[in-house]
Amino acid sequence: MTSTLILLRHGESEWNAKNLFTGWVDVDLTEKGRREAVRGGELMRESGALPDVVHTSLQRRAISTACIALDAADRHWIPVRRSWRLNERHYGALQGKDKKQTLEEFGEEQFMLWRRSFDVPPPPLDDDAEHSQVGLPQYDDLGDEMPRTECLKDVIARFLPYWEGSIVPDLRAGHTVLVAAHGNSLRALVKHLDRISDEDIAGLNIPTGMPMVYELDDDMRPTAAGRYLDPEAAAAAAAAVANQGR
Ligand SMILES: O=C(O)[C@H](O)COP(=O)(O)O
């Protein structure tokens, strides 16, 4: 028996549109992002990829995207589970900074190390900094797990316990699962599913608002590569993500 997993990065956010590093800053969707979420839900409905349960991060851009997309797919009534472990990677001291300015200030190599390397995090964000999330009620129970910066390796380490402990049980129960999350938390999951190397993962970019479907076997391994429900649009949008800051 195979299980169906649908991945959906949030629609365009206000800081995606401004080309700012976002991370754990809790920005909303733009009108374009809301339209992307509607289209994502329509694609799920038209293709018959209908979620039975949805897992989201604790960030409004993913929560809103899930709500809008599920409404468009007539699946607004399904159970929802949320976790910080699906949050975007914490971008540390880069949160709030312009990507183009960061590239110009630090150069190509440092920019790519911070943005797309596997194990080099940006500098940590001070707890009293403007864009810190320390002290927010949604993170009260994190304690020492509250990040001040993350690299992709860190995201994988905090994501996988939720994958194994919460998402996989839903898949094994025969539910079609929608994961509505973020560019880098989904890069972490795709790296795990597709066994992408620590070097090759730098080349993976995930577009906003475009559902990607995996069929998984009993070992929770993909039976084929993940497929976007609109592959042409996804390829163009992923290229745009790669070129942010340039
Ligand atoms: O957190 C952010 O800035 C974006 O959602 C992801 O940014 P990235 O594609 O530059 O990692």
Identify how many contiguous H helices and E strands the chain contains and give both numbers. 8, 6
- ∠ CA 4-151-87 to the nearest 5 degrees? 45
Which residue among 10, 16, 114 is best mutated to probe the pocket of ligand 1, counting the most ligand atoms within 8 A of its Cβ? 16
User: Side chain identity at 64, as an amino acid letter?
Assistant: S
Ligand 1 geometric centre to CA of 10 (Å):
11
Residue ranges at the known binding site for substrate:
9-16, 22-23, 61, 88-91, 99, 115-116, 183-184
User: Side chain identity at 42, as an amino acid letter?
Assistant: E
User: Is 105 in the active site?
Assistant: no
- The closest-lying atom of ligand 1 relative to the alpha carbon of residue 245 is 10
Element (H, E) at 228: strand 227-228
- Which residues, 6 or more positions from 140, have their beta carbon under 8 angstroms from its beta carbon? none
Cβ–ligand 1 contact at 211 (below 6 Å)? no
CA–CA separation, 17 vs 24, rounded Å? 16
pTM greater than 0.90 (yes/no): yes
- Which residues, 6 or more positions from 241, have their beta carbon under 8 angstroms from its beta carbon? 183, 205, 206, 207, 208
CB distance 190 to 227 below 8 Å: no
Of the candidates 53, 44, 99, 51, the residue with the CA atom closest to the CA atom of residue 246 = 99
Helices 31-47 & 60-72 angle (0-180, nearest 10): 40
Ligand 1 geometric centre to CA of 16 (Å):
8
Ligand 1 geometric centre to CA of 9 (Å):
11
User: Is 10 in the active site?
Assistant: yes
- The closest-lying atom of ligand 1 relative to the alpha carbon of residue 244 is 10
What are the CA-CA distances from residue 231 to residues 16, 158, 184, 213 (Å)?
21, 29, 20, 11
Q: What is the pLDDT of residue 208?
A: 95
Supply the ipTM of this predicted assembly: 0.90
Active-site entry in 10, 55, 131, 175:
10
CB distance 13 to 78 below 8 Å: no
User: What is the chain's pLDDT, residue by residue, as a tens digit (246 residues)?
Assistant: 899 999 999 999 999 999 999 999 999 999 999 999 999 999 999 999 999 999 999 999 999 999 999 999 999 999 999 999 999 999 999 999 999 999 999 999 999 999 999 999 999 999 999 999 999 999 999 999 999 999 999 999 999 999 999 999 999 999 999 999 999 999 999 999 999 999 999 999 999 999 999 999 999 999 998 999 998 888 877 777 788 888
Q: How many CB atoms lie within 10 A of CB 145?
A: 10
Active-site entry in 42, 46, 76, 88:
88
Q: In this structure, which residue's CA is closest to atom 4 in ligand 1?
A: 22
Q: If 0-12 CB within 10 Å is exposed, 13-18 middle and 19+ buried, where does residue 134 land?
A: middle
